[in-house]
Amino acid sequence: MQRSVQLGLLLLVVQLFQEGLGNIPAVTLAVLGFNVYLYMFPAAPPIQACVSLQRVFRDKEWRRLFLSPLHHVDDWHLYFNMVSFMWKGMRLEGRLGPAWFLYLLSVFFLLDGLVYLLLQAALTKLIEDSNPLVAFRDECAVGFSGVLFALKVVSNHDNPGGVTYVLHIRVSNRFASWAELVLIYLIAPGTSLVGHLAGILVGLLYTWGPLKTIMKKCAEFVSSDLNAPRPSVFFSSSGYSGTRREHSGEPQPAEDHIADDASEYTESFIAGLTEDEQIEMAIRRSLNNRGQTSQGETEPPAEEEVSPEELSRRSLSRFKQGNGGS
């Protein structure tokens, strides 16, 4: 259902144009735009998108883990979250790069909901007979705030000596996230304390815990699998010149490759080769000799183009003639 344009949304648009769309990194702008789109055209009403222990585990509504961070209760909720995300994204995406920042966002996006459910389960177990805190058990959270708290921890971690103003109060970066957690809950008790706490814990898992190492290992595995250089055969004007790596830059001259191999052509080495391997080695030596004898000579005006197969056949013929035929 399409929502009418409201003041918070208008202020967000004004804020974006004041900052300049060209000054906002691509991933930050795309994620921000997607949140605005889902506010205008929600995939589900907030009550059906929020995440809670009962609705996810008891009712098996796992889709809430994906819907919750991307939906907001009202336009002001959207405005404050997206302005905060814009500033954090501009700082972190510029420092980490768009690929890693998107990777980081995706991991935080998934982990925040899971940590939130674990915290809610633990608090429910601890306070199940305590009426004053029963709200923790029935709380259903929605919004991007948990991811923002995780990003705030990461941003402040790299500048521990700096300061942050939390509701106009000057706080050291070391304690800024915790101060914001407490102050926001005191000023607006309806906000999700558990959801914000989950975000802080996810951020700490990245900065102080094993999460960053695990993410790097996964990234290295995927990168090495997709971008591993594969050997490929290439030919020069002098014929077969060995193998090279796809991403190793310009191939070396064919004579360099063959000269290295020729230095290893000893009797003990040849004796351990099969007949086919000896023939291939002889072809390579023949081509090497041909390239060396042609050095310093003037290249003919029109060089005959010979296929690799024809070069191999001619060299094999010369090898057999030199050895008395077979």
Domain boundaries, the chain: 7-223
Structure tokens at 226: 């997709």
Q: Can you give the pLDDT at residue 282? A: 62
| Architecture category of domain 7-223 in CATH | Up-down Bundle (1.20)
Q: Can you give the pLDDT at residue 148? A: 95
CA dist 251 and 258 (Å) reads 13
The larger pLDDT score, comparing residue 305 to residue 143, is at 143
Place of tokens 């230095």: 263
Identify the active-site residue in 145, 155, 286, 315.
Answer: 145
Predicted TM-score (pTM) of the model is 0.65
Q: pLDDT over 90 for what percent of the chain? A: 39
Identify the active-site residue in 71, 72, 196, 257.
Answer: 196
Q: Can you give the pLDDT at residue 191? A: 81
Instruction: Print burial letters for 145-167: b (CB count within 10 Å at least 16), e (below 16).
Output: bbbbbbbbbbbbbeeeeeebebe
Residue 251 has pLDDT above 70, yes or no: no
CA-CA distances (angstroms) from residue 165 to 76, 177, 244, 275, 305? Answer: 20, 11, 56, 79, 74
Minimum mean pLDDT range among 20-24, 145-149, 161-165, 246-250: 246-250
Instruction: Print burial letters for 178-212: b (CB count within 10 Å at least 16), e (below 16).
Output: ebbbeebeeeeeebbbbbbbbbbbbbbbbeeeebe
145 is catalytic: yes
Task: Over range 202-210, report the average pLDDT.
Answer: 93
Contact 248, 228 (CB under 8 A): no
Range with top average pLDDT, 95-104, 252-261, 305-314: 95-104
Q: Which of 248, 152, 266 is nearest to 207 (CA)?
A: 152
Q: pLDDT over 70 for what percent of the chain? A: 63
Residue 137 has pLDDT above 50, yes or no: yes
Q: Can you give the pLDDT at residue 139? A: 79
Contact 176, 156 (CB under 8 A): yes
Which H or E run contains 234? strand 231-236
Contact 86, 24 (CB under 8 A): yes
Task: Over range 158-164, report the average pLDDT.
Answer: 80
Contact 143, 77 (CB under 8 A): yes
Task: Over range 244-260, report the average pLDDT.
Answer: 37
The larger pLDDT score, comparing residue 122 to residue 88, is at 88
Residue 43 has pLDDT above 70, yes or no: yes
What is the CB neighbour count within 10 angstroms for residue 41?
A: 10
The larger pLDDT score, comparing residue 226 to residue 169, is at 169
Q: Can you give the pLDDT at residue 227? A: 45
Minimum mean pLDDT range among 91-105, 113-127, 128-142, 259-273: 259-273
Contact 136, 194 (CB under 8 A): yes
Q: Which of 12, 29, 31 is nearest to 76 (CA)?
A: 12
Taking all residues of the chain, what is their mean pLDDT, rounded to a whole number?
A: 75
Residue 184 has pLDDT above 60, yes or no: yes
